[in-house]
Amino acid sequence: MASKYQAPRGTFDVLPGNAHARARVERAAAEIFSRAGYEPIATPVFEDTDLFERGVGRSTDIVRKEMFTFEDKGGRSITLRPEGTAPICRAYLEHGMHKLAQPVKLSYAGPFFRHERPQAGRYRQFHQIGAEAIGTDSPFADAEAIMLLADLLAELGVPGVELRLGSLGSPVARRAYLEELKAHLRANEGELSKDVRERIDLNPLRAFDSDDEGTQAVMAGAPTIVERLDGEDAEHFAEVRALLDTAGIAYEIDPTLVRGLDYYTRTIFSFVCEGLGAQSEVGGGGRYDGLIEQLGGPATPAVGWAAGIERILLALEEDEETAGRDAFLAVADEGQRRRALALASELRHAGLAVEVDLAGRSLKGQLKHADRVGARRVVILESEGGVQLRDMESGEQRPTDAAHLLEELGGAGR
């Protein structure tokens, strides 16, 4: 039936069929975060627009084109959060977390909003899980961040994952490099796409990310920051690599790697999954040593990442999943319906997943429905207290005693 209303463009409903696979991803992430001591944090889905304009930098696409920004009734500019790092840094400062033992290790999961052209793996409301270690510049934190995401993707069984690793150096080194890069871009201005040409001064690094052929040819001959790293930046990057080597995590150095948000310094990384086509990144992140200072806090180095739940699910190709039921309570005798509901409740208290007919079906209809919901057994209540137990896999059916039902269904000792 065509309905009068549809979900807004670029959004989707999570229906019961895919909710289970989604919950599995969130559970796996929560487990990994908790085992490594990354405590959960939740921030509002909207923030003052300033937080993102300042935190994200005005030059990125995310700020220029992708934000859902509106004015609230008090005339304040509000933005639906496009990412989690700036809000978490805001909360870190607002709640004085810089006074706690550092680093403060945090994790999150929730919806994010970007006004993008919708396509497979790219939505206007999507969901991320992520982790941040705030208050340390140690390369161990970078390596640990990467290891957490690698663990998560491995544990979920995401196929064909590759890790790309790069470094943007510290702001000082980066400034010198950026001048060199801008000079290269200006020298080849004629061959660049309009978009890149207009942003030579604003965000020259993004040129590496362009899908324009002319720009790509120019960038093939461009100097890379990884070649220019020296001193502490080079040491930091070498240590991150050594730590990953020790942990047995494979990676590929990508000297042209850039990210969509421009607050990154030093380490950046991206986990891609070739099977995903154009939207190949399942997750990524890096170090953002300057962000908290930009937000008005003390100089506080930090590192983190975010992964897209929808991209992970696409890569896993297992959206549809049914939960299964321990038992379905059917009635052969209409007089048993009330008893069936009470018994279902009792069995649920004991921890069993039990369904009961709510639609007045015939016994045949109830058995069919039990099969549909994935019930392993059907308990059939007969007149005068008789109980039959039917195994849905073998089709075997035998009488049993109502008093032993719980043990029969495996509830008590579970």
Which residues here bind Mg ion, judged by CB under 5 A?
Answer: 260
What are the strands of the beta sheet with 281-287, ordered from one edge?
Answer: 39-40, 104-113, 125-134, 302-308, 281-287, 265-273, 161-167, 252-253
Least Å distance, CB 231 to Mg ion, is 32
3-class DSSP assignment, residue 303: strand
Q: Choose, by CB under 6 A, the member of 139, 169, 304, 308 that binds ligand ATP.
A: 308
Site string for ligand ATP, 198-237 (x = CB under 6 A): ----------------------------------------
> Using an 8 Å Cβ cutoff, are 313 and 276 in contact?
no
Host H or E run for residue 346:
helix 337-349
Q: Choose, by CB under 6 A, the member of 123, 269, 288, 328 that binds ligand ATP.
A: 123
Q: Choose, by CB under 6 A, the member of 174, 311, 377, 390 that binds ligand ATP.
A: 311
Q: Which stretch binds ligand ATP (CB under 6 A): 163-171, 187-195, 211-219, 254-262?
A: 254-262
Q: Choose, by CB under 6 A, the member of 126, 263, 269, 328 that binds ligand ATP.
A: 126
10 Å CB burial of residue 64 (0-12, 13-18, 19+) is middle
Beta pairing partners, 166: 268
Host H or E run for residue 62:
helix 61-64
Please tell me the distance from the alpha carbon of residue 109 to that of residue 159, in angstroms, as a whole number: 22
Interaction of residue 144 with ligand ATP, rule CB under 6 A: no
Q: DSSP letters of 149-186?
A: HHHHHHHHT-TTEEEEEEE---HHHHHHHHHHHHHHHH
400 binds, among ligand ATP, Mg ion, none (CB under 5 to 8 A by kind): none
Interaction of residue 287 with ligand ATP, rule CB under 6 A: no
**Number of residues in contact with ligand ATP under rule CB under 6 A:** 21
User: Quick one: which of 260, 36, 234, 254 has its CA closest to 149?
Assistant: 36
What are the strands of the beta sheet with 387-391, ordered from one edge?
Answer: 354-356, 325-331, 375-381, 387-391, 397-400
Q: Choose, by CB under 6 A, the member of 22, 115, 122, 184 that binds ligand ATP.
A: 122
Residue nearest to ligand ATP according to CB distances in the complex? 308
212 binds, among ligand ATP, Mg ion, none (CB under 5 to 8 A by kind): none
Least Å distance, CB 131 to Mg ion, is 19
CB atoms within 10 A of CB 145: 27
> Using an 8 Å Cβ cutoff, are 254 and 280 in contact?
no
Q: Which stretch binds ligand ATP (CB under 6 A): 26-34, 175-183, 276-284, 376-384?
A: 276-284
Q: Which phi and psi (to 5°) does residue 88 adopt?
A: -70, -40
123 binds, among ligand ATP, Mg ion, none (CB under 5 to 8 A by kind): ligand ATP
Q: Which of residues 149-188 bind ligand ATP (CB under 6 A)?
A: none
> Using an 8 Å Cβ cutoff, are 379 and 327 in contact?
yes
226 binds, among ligand ATP, Mg ion, none (CB under 5 to 8 A by kind): none
> Using an 8 Å Cβ cutoff, are 302 and 287 in contact?
yes
CB nearer to ligand ATP: pick between 108 and 123: 123
User: Quick one: which of 128, 133, 129, 162 has its CA closest to 36?
Assistant: 133
Q: Which stretch binds ligand ATP (CB under 6 A): 119-127, 213-221, 236-244, 326-334?
A: 119-127
Q: Choose, by CB under 6 A, the member of 281, 321, 333, 382 that binds ligand ATP.
A: 281
Q: Which of residues 88-117 bind ligand ATP (CB under 6 A)?
A: 114, 116
CB nearer to ligand ATP: pick between 209 and 408: 209
228 binds, among Mg ion, ligand ATP, none (CB under 5 to 8 A by kind): none
Residues 6+ apart with CB under 8 A from 400: 387, 388, 389, 408
Q: Which stretch binds ligand ATP (CB under 6 A): 43-51, 161-169, 239-247, 300-308?
A: 300-308
Q: Which stretch binds ligand ATP (CB under 6 A): 15-23, 120-128, 337-345, 401-409?
A: 120-128
CB nearer to ligand ATP: pick between 155 and 391: 155
Whole-angstrom CA distances from 155 to 149, 159, 169, 201, 412 are: 10, 11, 31, 42, 31
Interaction of residue 260 with ligand ATP, rule CB under 6 A: yes
The footprint of ligand ATP (CB under 6 A) covers 83, 114, 116, 121-123, 126, 128, 259-261, 279, 281-284, 306-308, 310-311
